[in-house]
Structure 1
């Protein structure tokens, strides 16, 4: 099954002899660099390019072409090589003006076995003024090789790219490559004819029609694979797993942010096995110089739910990139002003009279101009993303929608499990009015921890610990109700452990509607009973799976996904119960048992470091907005806002009533 990567995602490689296939629809130059343990190329002899196409374990094309096949033998790589970067560049002789990827089709790159089976693929979107790009990299980590989608572009072309990789004489090397390509093009490509206005015509290969354009769907097309990075947008350990603390350090990447002036790209990657066709015309073209009008569901995918999921993920990427570009520009302006002030004041003659004041004023003026330009670019992109959010939000299905979305008024118990579920919203300080839905893939691969303790964004109205604990439990109930609502009847079961009974008021909607597997368990005896039954269930399913007898479970065995809500931890928990809880958190998700804890970590401090693995295994959510979700992709700290039911709304009770009725009919 092919892993369809997005920028920053990685995927393990089980083969060492590979082909890298490139399709661009226009002639491009394909080359590759080898990197040491620090990712740096040690010299020009570590670069494979059309003028020197062969290195140990690596061979690239000898000329520019629309399609390439690069041969890679990872077993033949020297021990000093820890990274192979695949580079794409537009040849200066193949275009009628300054080359840039924004004017051509998005390149498509696939890593395949020698038998042609795809291992991973990546469509490089979002490029504009760049004329060279690091498409992807194969890298060695702890003795194993992986592939990562990079997509880092350089407007300065190969020269800037090589300089960034630490190569000496980068400009000389880039010039030699373009000269070799120009000689090859002169031998194999007819000279383009000039039109009446002097522009050169370009011929590009017509992309094959996809399923959106009456073309045949690829056979065996896999489901969309989320980005495998430790990003808040995908908070699961084995996917765009969102929270902090990914178990795979190689998943943490920080690609350079695009230039501050780059436009937001509304075409987001999805299922693709060839160079992507242009999207179908779903909206009238925008006037010249105006941004494209956003359309809900314009991303790729076989269903509208998948299209919307990919579009929301693309919005998250766009907001991350444009904010990173703005912050980078402001940092540059600050450092430049500081440098200019130091230079001006280092001369004693400038410390008296008006020359020093003039130098300071000039530096501050330049700083203000740079910051204003960066802010204008950010505001432009935020306006585009806000317009897209205003179109996308009303079109979301119940699993992705806020509780105040009218789609819930037409809710019916689904027949199939959706791709993902909404846990809340994400935003950044520069864009507090723009909310990006936080979607988590289903089934859950990590437990959830609703933090009932005080957070960094402390609200004075919740100064009382009891009020904050009630809000945390209310958040947990809203999330549990959403999970019940998006699963088919009988395929999701909820258990509650509330030893002290402190969550009775918040749990009332679940109890009254009858959607729980049983009444909330009270006291230490209730804790022991529920934990024993669920740990035994995990053991039984694990044994059945390991023995290849998954169909031989006992009659009447509940095969539904199980969710355990734990309130007021560690009240009512002894050492044995704590160990059972840790066991469920570690082993449960793989066999359909999930954990949602409502707890204050400080209250559990008596257990010391024994509980640290438990907290790290859970995705921490807060009932109040808090910027605790780290994004190592570009270094942002995203503020999470929980998905609560609006005050006075009856939508939660209406939905739970329908779920309970469907559950009764199912049983």
Structure 2
């Protein structure tokens, strides 16, 4: 029976091999410290964190995530260790919350490898703290116990580690946050979570146990009842404050199209992703009723069965619900296989530890029995996975044809009926994601608009996951073609005159790949070449960012120079760092950091290794961009359990003219708009 602990309570641990599961609702850093009988940490080698995740008897997550599973083997912990403290911290990088009081209370649980909970603790009462010691496992009279601690620190990880008397507390805290920042740079932007009743604006409490018998939400543990990705007060139905959500008063947004109103984010706060023109005159329409199912079978899936104010929003929530379902059911399968493997090892260890059963028929029978039990557990887990995957595959087959152009693949027939839209969509498809356990399912990777982060199309050799593409010139060509496809999508989903594309190609190496944009008449000007052209484009965009920022800070968003282009701006940079001096590099960093908030976005086609000559100067630039690849590669991670997802770019089918046809309509609409 699970012991639900309150702060200060303890509970005995009946076994040595455990998992500590964390559900926070927002990405957090999870780590652990090893302490002696006085709780003292004797050095950085006594701390497990994303940069050094494995210690004897302990393994923690390698990145910040909303859900964590920490593996603990108390029998393998060194004898000098008397305390294992589990710590949580909010990342310092990105646009996330800066204190635990701004998010739902994190939930922690100590479980066996079979998923059965031993003890749980919800960390309530946190306010200004950004780091907290959640649980403590400690030795007592020859056994181990768990204590609910909940000790928070407003000074963050550095203060927490210093309180445990670690001399290198500040240096280690900086190293941890650096490792986390590298991990966040490869994470898929976190979508809204999904509830068991189909409402994908809030997370659900997943099923427990190794089989996870009902819904596809497979990971065990509990998730808070509200999500930090929701608009303010969305979970309760209350009206958001002025300018904070989709129902509040709309204020002018100078970084967007002229005359367009968008909700503005508070200074220094997170970007508000609410739809710029969503109405609140009527309640959300109910999702369509599912066709009746055959007895004993699940209901047939329906496109748009999530909640939302429009079919577009319902499809968006449904897609990301599928993404979360697949992540969690895969996590459940992997956990069940790990449990079966550990159980087999334990049974074999017991057989080998007894000389009487080590050899002969008795030993062979024990080994065969352990093997059969292992196969039985793995087979049962595989059946559950197959069931959930089949259900998700059926859902994908009805959702994909129903997607609007902004969410659809280039081979979707919706592009044949394409017309330049009148409104900006909620999101854009940047590719597909899949896992090896469910290779048949391709989940669209949807990112909200306007873009919060710039894009980095990696043209390095490391972008090839299968090693099939090794020629550096070929990778540069594929990288630029991928960038052109992304830019064409952005141009296609924005209304006429509300999105402008600039290109910097210093050496003219991308002339052929850039032809669809350059010859299609959709660029603001021909691609800039040479040092002078590069300096001119960077100077104009940097000046635009400065002007809009000054207008916003001065409280006069309309006080902009006449003729200033207020549309969203995209700068494509090819073949970086060739042709860029130190001033140009600093301007790129400035645009990557400050541009998205005022409507200037960066898309770089570059090989990071080739920029190594600049040293660590460019590390913050790479981390601020979302890395995508021109070939399939498993470099992206989900925000729940940290799976390595294989990303596939949205390439135009060979021989298809859909991109040219779409750009022709965009160019015609652009000409009419300027008239």
TM-score (normalizing by structure 1): 0.64
- Quick one: which of 545, 549, 564 aligns to 2:552? 545
The whole-number CA distance in structure 2 between the counterparts of 1:293 and 1:255 is: 22
Aligned with 1:505: secondary structure?
A: coil
Does the 8 Å CA contact 2:319/2:443 hold for their aligned counterparts? yes
Alpha carbons of structure 1 residues 258 and 340: separation in structure 2 relative to 1, 3 Å: closer
Matches within 5 A, 1:500-579: 500-579=507-586
Shift of 1:455: 2.2
Contact 2:4 2:120 in 1 (8 A): no
**Do structure 1's residue 146 and structure 2's residue 105 form an aligned pair?**
no
Determine if the alignment matches structure 1 residue 427 to structure 2 residue 417.
no
Q: Is the contact between residue 150 and residue 255 of structure 1 (CA under 8 Å) also seen in structure 2?
A: no
CA displacement, residues 353-404 of structure 1 (integer Å, 9 cap, x when unaligned): 1111111111011000000100111011100000000000000000000000
Displacement after TM superposition at 1:454 (Å): 1.2
In structure 1, what is the equivalent of residue 458 of structure 2?
A: 451
CA distance in 1, matches of 2:417, 2:111: 49
Instruction: Return the offset for 1:262.
Output: 2.7
Q: Counterpart of 2:446?
A: 439
Residue 49 of structure 2 is aligned to residue 42 of structure 1: no
Provide closer, same or farther for how the CA distance between residues 351 and 459 of structure 1 changes in structure 2, counting only shifts above 3 A. Answer: closer
Whether the 8 Å CA contact 2:501–2:522 is kept in 1: the answer is: yes
Counterpart of 1:304 (choices 306, 311, 314) is 311
1:256 Cα deviation (Å)?
9.0
Partner residue, 2:402: 395
Distance in 1 between residues matched to 2:399 and 2:502, nearest whole Å: 34
1:463 and 2:414 correspond:
no
Equivalent position to 1:316, from 304, 323, 326: 323
* C-alpha displacement of 1:255: 8.6
Q: CA deviation at 1:526?
A: 1.0
The aligned counterpart of 2:244 is none
CA distance 1:257–1:654, shift in 2 (3 Å): farther
Find the counterpart in structure 2 of residue 497 from structure 1: 504
8 Å CA contact 1:452–1:598 kept in 2: the answer is: yes
Q: Report the equivalent of 1:262.
A: 213
1:624 is aligned to 631
C-alpha distance in structure 2 between counterparts of 1:574 and 1:602, whole Å: 17
- The answer to whether structure 1 residue 590 and structure 2 residue 597 are counterparts is yes
Seen in structure 2, the aligned counterparts of structure 1 residues 321 and 278 have a Cα distance that, compared at 3 Å, is farther
**1:452 touches 1:468 (CA, 8 Å); kept in 2?**
yes
**Distance (Å, rounded) in 2 between the aligned partners of 1:340 and 1:296:** 47
Contact 1:231 1:633 in 2 (8 A): no
Deviations 1:290-332 (A, max 9, x none): 1110000010001000000000010001000110000000000
Contact kept, 8 Å, 1:624 with 1:641, in 2: the verdict is yes
Cα separation, 1, equivalents of 2:300 and 2:324: 19
Equivalence for 1:411? 418
| 1:9-158 mapped onto 2 (5 Å cutoff) | 34-35=6-7, 41-43=8-10, 145-148=101-104
What are the equivalent positions in structure 2 for 1:353-392 lying under 5 Å apart? 353-392=360-399
Secondary structure of the 1:635 match is coil
Counterpart Cα distance in 2 of 1:339 and 1:659: 64
**Matches of 2:640 and 2:536, distance apart in 1:** 42
Structure 2, unaligned runs of 5 or more: 12-87, 91-96, 122-134, 138-182, 194-203, 218-224, 239-282
Distance in 1, Cα, partners of 2:10 & 2:284: 39
Q: Secondary structure at the match of 2:410?
A: coil
Q: CA deviation at 1:345?
A: 1.0
Aligned residue runs from structure 1 range 260-299, under 5 A:
260-264=211-215, 273=236, 282-299=289-306
**Shift in alpha-carbon separation, 1:525–1:257, aligned structure 2, 3 A:** farther
Q: Paired residue for 1:329?
A: 336
Q: Residues of 2 paired with 1:485 and 1:142: CA distance? A: 36
Note the alpha carbon deviations across 1:576-597, whole angstroms, 9 max, x for none.
Answer: 1000000000000011000000
**2:407 touches 2:444 (CA, 8 Å); kept in 1?**
yes
Structure 1 unmatched ranges of 5 or more? 1-30, 36-40, 45-137, 169-229, 243-252
Based on CA coordinates, which of the two structures has the bigger radius of gyration? 1
Do the aligned partners of 1:255 and 1:633 also contact (CA within 8 Å) in 2? no
How has the CA–CA distance of structure 1 residues 340 and 620 changed in structure 2, closer, same or farther, with 3 Å as cutoff?
same
1:639 to 628, 634, 646: 646
Deviations 1:631-659 (A, max 9, x none): 35212111110001001001000000000
Other-structure match for 2:152:
none
Q: Show the counterpart of 1:612.
A: 619
SS in 1 for 2:408: coil
Deviation of residue 258 (structure 1)? 6.3
Structure 1 Cα separation of the partners of residues 286 and 363 of structure 2: 57
Q: Distance in 1 between matches of 2:484 and 2:623?
A: 22
Per the alignment, residue 487 of structure 2 pairs with: 480
Q: CA 1:491–1:143 in structure 2 vs 1: closer, same or farther (change >3 Å)?
A: closer
SS at match of 2:593: helix
- In structure 2, the CA distance between the partners of 1:356 and 1:451, relative to structure 1 (3 Å rule), is same
Partners of 1:598 and 1:387 in 2: CA distance: 36
**Aligned 8 A contact 1:257 1:322 in 2:** no
Deviation of residue 502 (structure 1)? 1.0
d(CA) in 1 for partners of 2:450, 2:109:
35
Shift of residue 167 of structure 1? 11
Q: 1:337 to 1:622 in 2, by over 3 A?
A: same
Check 1:548–1:274 CA distance in 2 against 1; reply closer, same or farther (3 A cut).
closer
1:436 and 1:325 map into 2 onto residues whose CA distance is 19
d(CA) in 1 for partners of 2:352, 2:467: 47
Q: Quote how far apart the aligned CAs of 1:283 are.
A: 2.7
Measured after TM superposition, the shift of residue 234 of structure 1 is 7.6
Is the Cα contact below 8 Å between 2:111 and 2:118 reproduced in 1? no
- Find the counterpart in structure 2 of residue 163 from structure 1: 119
How big is the shift at 1:463? Answer: 2.1
Answer whether contact 2:432 2:443 (CA < 8 A) is retained. Answer: yes
Shift of 1:572: 0.5
Q: Note if contact 1:233-1:439 (Cα within 8 Å) is conserved in structure 2.
A: no
Could you report, residue by residue, the CA deviation over 1:466-495 in whole angstroms, capped at 9, with x for unpaired residues? 111100100000000000000111000000
Alignment partners' CA distance in 2, 1:554 and 1:320:
49
Tell me how far apart the structure 2 counterparts of residues 650 and 277 of structure 1 sit (CA, whole Å): 38
Q: Secondary structure at the match of 1:455?
A: helix
Aligned to 1:212: none
* CA distance in structure 1 between the partners assigned to 2:619 and 2:430 by the alignment: 24
Distance, in Å, in 2 between the alignment partners of 1:288 and 1:662 is: 52
Deviation at 1:148, TM superposition (A): 2.6
